[in-house]
């Protein structure tokens, strides 16, 4: 069991408890219309890695998938819009899943079905897990004699900073239009957030292009740091920030007017003379880690194994700079 899952398993019961209405309060009996279809799940290598089976549901139960952790993932398209029908199907489904000794239930409700949220929370004890622009994800822990071990919502955001040099060794710096850096008017390297499904090196090249119009290529990673507490948009979250060395493929800056007030190339001496970042500070050290380090982080793509050659991931590994 991972460290994160152990922490979740030790969470206080008072936090995890939620008022709920038993399915039997509706006079409903468990249905026997669920049927697992493992053959169908096995056809999809990605699905079978997480999914152990599924149920097509019926007139009284919700269609769903079952994961290898004893969880139930309700199929969003199978959730009825009509409140009375939803209430009855959810009650019957919960009773059946409890009899099957399922553990956690994941309920995806779209904006179009938002009227069902009070039913799920107030009548059946579902809790909010996270929200996206078009839906909310809710969860319910079924065992009454075991701590809730459902994984928490995402706890971190990922940021990248690009130390971009051109063929003359000049460094690309920008002035942001908004935010704390915009208010102070400092010159800084281009920075941004990594999108879901995006690799770190892809994100930094994209950010440089979006902000400055400069085409760049990834070279290597320098140091990284963490910040805790979040900001107004990500309150209570932590952030991991990576510095990335990039090489410019062009020199002509085409600045994004909505994000920046200025962007230009600086010599090393000009950069050193700027008041920000303060010499010896965290940001000074992390920026310099990408200039002339003895060792760096490089990347290579590897398969999970011979049984899954189609599933590949990026490996970030230390390397002597002389080996680049």
Residues recognised as catalytic: 210
For residue 266, give the H/E element and its range.
strand 260-266
Structure tokens at 32: 């026997």
Instruction: Select from 195, 315, 180, 291 the least CA-distant residue to 243.
Output: 291
At residue 234, the 3 state secondary structure works out as coil
The separation between the first and the last C-alpha atoms of the chain, rounded to the nearest angstrom, is 37
Inter-residue contact 81 to 113 (CB < 8 Å): yes
Inter-residue contact 216 to 231 (CB < 8 Å): no
> Measuring CA to CA, how many Å separate 322 from each of 125, 268, 295, 297, 319?
58, 22, 8, 12, 8
Checking DSSP bridges between strand 104-110 and strand 72-74, what pairing results, if any? parallel
DSSP state of 151: P
Dihedral sign for Cα 181, 182, 183, 186, please: positive
**197 in the Ramachandran plot: left (φ > 0), alpha (ψ -120 to 50) or beta?**
left
Biggest distance spanned by C-alpha atoms of the chain: 79
């Amino acid at each position: 069991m991972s460290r994160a899952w152990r922490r979740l398993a030790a969470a206080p019961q008072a936090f995890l408890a939620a008022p709920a209405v038993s399915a039997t309060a509706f006079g409903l009996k468990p249905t026997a219309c669920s049927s697992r279809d493992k053959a169908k799940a096995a056809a999809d290598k990605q699905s079978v890695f997480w999914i152990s089976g599924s149920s097509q549901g019926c007139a009284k139960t919700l269609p769903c998938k079952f994961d290898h952790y004893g969880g139930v993932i309700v199929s969003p398209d199978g959730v009825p819009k009509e409140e009375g029908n939803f209430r009855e199907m959810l009650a019957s489904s919960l009773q059946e899943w409890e009899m099957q000794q399922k553990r956690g239930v994941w309920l995806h409700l779209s904006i179009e079905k938002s009227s069902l949220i009070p039913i799920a929370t107030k009548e059946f004890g579902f809790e909010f897990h996270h929200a996206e622009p078009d839906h909310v994800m809710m969860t319910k822990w079924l065992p009454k004699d075991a701590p809730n071990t459902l994984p928490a919502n995402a706890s971190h955001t990922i940021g990248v900073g690009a130390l971009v040099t051109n063929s003359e060794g000049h460094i690309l710096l920008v002035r942001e239009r908004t935010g704390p850096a915009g208010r102070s008017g400092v010159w800084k390297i281009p920075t941004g957030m990594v999108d879901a499904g995006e690799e770190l090196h892809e994100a930094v090249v994209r950010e440089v292009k979006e902000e400055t119009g400069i085409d760049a290529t990834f070279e290597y990673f320098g140091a990284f740091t963490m910040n805790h507490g979040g900001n107004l948009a990500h309150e209570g979250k932590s952030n991991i920030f990576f510095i990335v060395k990039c090489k410019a493929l062009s020199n002509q800056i085409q600045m994004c007017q909505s994000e920046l007030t200025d962007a230009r190339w600086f010599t090393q001496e000009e950069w050193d003379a700027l008041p920000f970042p303060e010499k010896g500070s965290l940001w000074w050290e992390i920026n310099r880690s990408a200039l002339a380090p003895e060792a760096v982080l490089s990347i290579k793509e590897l398969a999970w194994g011979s049984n899954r050659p189609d599933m590949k991931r990026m490996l970030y590994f230390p390397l002597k700079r002389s080996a680049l």
